[in-house]
Every structure is written in structure tokens, then in C-alpha cells.
Amino acid sequence: MRSWRHAAPDPALRVQPRMIEAMKAYPGVRKTLVPGTLTRYENGELTPPLPVIAALEDIVGLPPGEISSYLTGGKRIRRDRAAQWDLLTRADAADTTPLSGRDWLDLATLITTGTPQSPERVAFWSHLLVNEMSRSTCAGYRLRIRALELLAADPVISGPVEDAVRDHLTACGHTVIGDALAALTEVQHPRGTALALHTYRSLRSEPAESVAHVLAIDLHQGRSRRELWGAIRDTLREDLASGHRDLEDVATIVASSLTPLQLRELLYPFSREQSRRVQLSIVRSRPDTLPVADARHFRLACASLARDLASQVGRPHEDGLATWLWRLLVDGTDPFVAGLVVSSSPYGHALSHELERRFWPGTTRAGEPGAGRHGLEFPFTSVALGTCRRRDPETFADAFRTASPSHKRRLLTPLAHHRTFPADIDLATAIRETGATSRVIYAAGMSAHPGLAALDGSGIPSSQLRAARWWANGPDPSRLAG
């Protein structure tokens, strides 16, 4: 809220008294609002009411929900009986007319706190919600994922929600599964971690990486059930000793989240050389075990980058951005959440361009390494580029057309999240050039590529062809913005 107030298009509204006067013209904002209260809202000391956030969003020109979708607590606007009936009626027809993200969150609240709904109705809605959430971005995504978590946390209806997630994993060909699994583990669903582990075991290559991050965050935050530790440990041992680079890489993502005691138990049967190799891989992947010089470099780089970005958006101060950049680019505890937050800030556009200019292949002078002029590349640069919002997303599409195969591969996620994968690019050719079948289909699906329904060809796994049909036959992602 404070960052966007400081970035208000009208400089006069950047000071609290003038912003408050503008807010008071909006319905639901108390006429008694004073600067001290707004400060407590902005500092997180008080939960701001939705009308206050909605007023700020409109004043600074943000789409509805861009800030309020982060609000996890507080009183929600209660709908009267007529409005509840209207919501339930529209929800029953959501397979043909998608609900907005705000409607889904209100529906989830109504289901879990209001009149009980039939299991068949909840199952129908859960399947639609998982489907829509997986195709959403920005505020629409955040509102739908919160609605799904609200349903998954309810012990009465958590079963149909789990079934919806299980069905989704197969239906989408495992192209977009991390968020659905995380919705279960985040609220400690009784079978969430077990489902994530089962999915991890059954996958290889790109899709397994997203599940590995779900398991890693679950273990790091101590949410996984103790009785599953033996199965997780044995799976990691098998993959780390497999001799296959892909398996070892994704297993390292999970292993890097283990406590020292768990890691010692994991490595107990390994030879000294095997243990040394695994530990070295984990050290390289853990920000808290970075060499002192590298950690200092990254701290200084985040502070310098924050100052540069603040200057680019006309701010004398960076509003704590350096801390968020550390969480996003280096810390690794949950870079995806940090990415969403920074993406929604006034700095997201400038950060996206700055990271591409500094570190990505093809953006430096001929013959010069991508990170050559700026030292070490941030560990999670690719995550940041995949989440930060640009106001000119067509630049990603232009870059994709002329990029090298490795650069094209890195562009697939930002293309997906901006829904700008070029419609005239042949999908089979893109798959062949990048070697990233799942990511190409994901980018094409999020962009409603016209070639998905007809995608065919030797060398494309049947699960990925099924995924292409799933994307082609589902709701148009561009209709799920709200």
C-alpha cells in the first residue's frame, strides 16, 4: 500500500492527508480515517478494510484485487441472502461462464461458513476452481489459490478437494501442478505431502522440479508428517545415487531443505566420495551456506539494485525493496511468493528489464558472458523473470523469435505468465529447439495458442499430447483475469 501510494500518478496524492481525502470519496471508507491509522495499515499493525484497499487501487490505477488479494485476514464483505443466491446460481454455471477470483473466494467462504452444500456440488466446484486457478495470473491467481486453500483446510470437504487435485494432475499432463499440490501442503491437508511425494516419484525432468520445490518448502517449514520422512529419505537416496543428472538435480532441491540431522541420516549409507559430492551440491544451492564473499556480494548487489529501481520509478527511498529482492533473488526459502509480491509492486516492470539486461544470454555485447559485467548472477534470476510483470510483454515475444535455444527455454515461463507466446510459432518446432516439451505447452496454453488442438508428432509423450488437448479444451485463460 505504501509503495503504491508513493507511486500515485498525481504527486499530490503521495502524501497521506491528500490520499486520505481522496479515499473518503469511496463507499465504505470511514470519514474518520486519519494518517495515523493509514500508517498502521501500511505497516501491517492493523488489517486494512477492503474498501480502503479498493479505494487505493482505483486511485493509483491498479486493477481491482491487485493489492487486496494479499489480504489473508480481516472481515470480508458479507453478502445478503439475495446476493448469496445469485453467487450460488452463477457458480453452478461456472463451467460455461467462469467466476471471478473474488467470487471464488466469496464462494469458498460461503461453503465453509454458511449453509452446508452437497458433496456433488462441492466436487463440481472444486474441479472448476483447480482448473481456473491453474490458468490464472496476478490477482485472479492469488484469489483463486486462497479460495482453494480455504476449501482444502476444511476437514468436512477436504476429500473432494483432494480428488479434484488428483484428477487435475493427470488431466493437465503434469504441465501445471505445483500450485495445486502446494494448495494442499500449505494448509497441512492430511494427505497433501503424501500426494506430492507420490507425484514426485512418478515424474522426471521438468514437471518433477515444480513438485520438488513443493516438498522442499514443506520440509523447510516443518509441515510434512513425521511418518512420511522414511519414504522421503529413501526416495532421495535412490535419486541421488542414480547417476542421472536430472534426478540428482531435483533431489538436491528437496535435500537442500533438510535439517542437519535429516541430512546426516540421508547420507549415512553413502560412501565418503558420494557424501562429499551431494553435500557440495547442496552447499551450492543453499544461500545460507554461500561463501562469505558471495553472500556479501549479493547483499550489496540487492541494495544497489533496489536503489537503481527506486530511482527509475522516481522514488527517493526504496521502501524496503532490498529485503524483498534478497528474498526473491537469493534467499530461496520461497522465491515464488516473494516474486508475486515484488511483481505486484511499482518496481516489477523495471526489475524485469534490469535483470534481463544484466544477466540473461543475448542481452550483452557480442562475445561477452551474460553475467560478465556484473559479477555473479542471482540464484533465482529465472524465477524473478517468470513472475515480475512487464507493461510491454511483447518484448518477450520479440526476444523469443531471435534468441538462442537456451535463451528461448528461459523465456518460456515469462511468456506464459504474460500470455504472449507468439501465435505464429509452430509448437513442434519450439519443442524441438528448446527440448522443453512441458514448458512449451504451458506457455502455449496460457497464451491460447491456436495450434494446441492439432499438436501431434513423434517424440512427444502421450501425456504431453493429453496436456495440449486439456489446454485447448479448457476456458480461455484471458477470460480469467479478474
Q: Do 297 and 275 share a structural domain?
A: no
DSSP calls for 177-206: -HHHHHHHHHTT-TTHHHHHHHHHHH--SH
Other CB atoms within 10 A of residue 232 CB = 23
Provide the 8-state DSSP code for 373.
Answer: T
pLDDT of residue 371: 44
Q: Do 255 and 333 share a structural domain?
A: no
- Location of C-alpha cell 532441491: 253
Count Cα neighbours of 283 within 13 Å in the Cβ-side half-sphere.
Answer: 11
How many structural domains is the chain composed of? 3
Q: Do 313 and 252 share a structural domain?
A: no
Residues of the domain holding 381: 292-480
Backbone φ/ψ region at 367: left (φ over 0), alpha (ψ -120 to 50), beta: left
Say how far apart CA 109 and CA 430 lie, in whole Å: 42
Q: Of 251, 271, 288, which one is at a domain's C-terminal end?
A: 288
Q: What angle do CA 320, 334, 308 make, to 5 degrees?
A: 30
Q: Do 332 and 450 share a structural domain?
A: yes
pLDDT of residue 373: 46
pLDDT of residue 370: 42
Closest CA relative to residue 134, chosen from 102, 175, 98: 175
pLDDT of residue 367: 36
C-alpha cell at 278: 551431494
- Helix boundaries (H) for 114-228: 119-134, 138-153, 158-171, 178-186, 192-202, 206-220
pLDDT along the chain (482 residues), means of 10: 90 94 95 95 90 94 88 63 91 91 92 88 96 93 94 94 95 90 93 94 80 91 85 94 89 91 93 91 73 85 92 82 92 84 91 87 43 66 90 93 91 94 94 92 95 85 90 84 66
pLDDT of residue 365: 37
pLDDT of residue 263: 92
C-alpha cell at 213: 520445490
Specify the amino acid at residue 30: R
Does residue 100 lie in a domain region?
no
Q: Do 298 and 270 share a structural domain?
A: no
Provide the 8-state DSSP code for 378.
Answer: P
Beta carbons of 19 and 5 less than 8 angstroms apart: yes
pLDDT of residue 69: 87
Q: Do 386 and 283 share a structural domain?
A: no
Beta carbons of 193 and 218 less than 8 angstroms apart: yes
Does residue 355 lie in a domain region?
yes
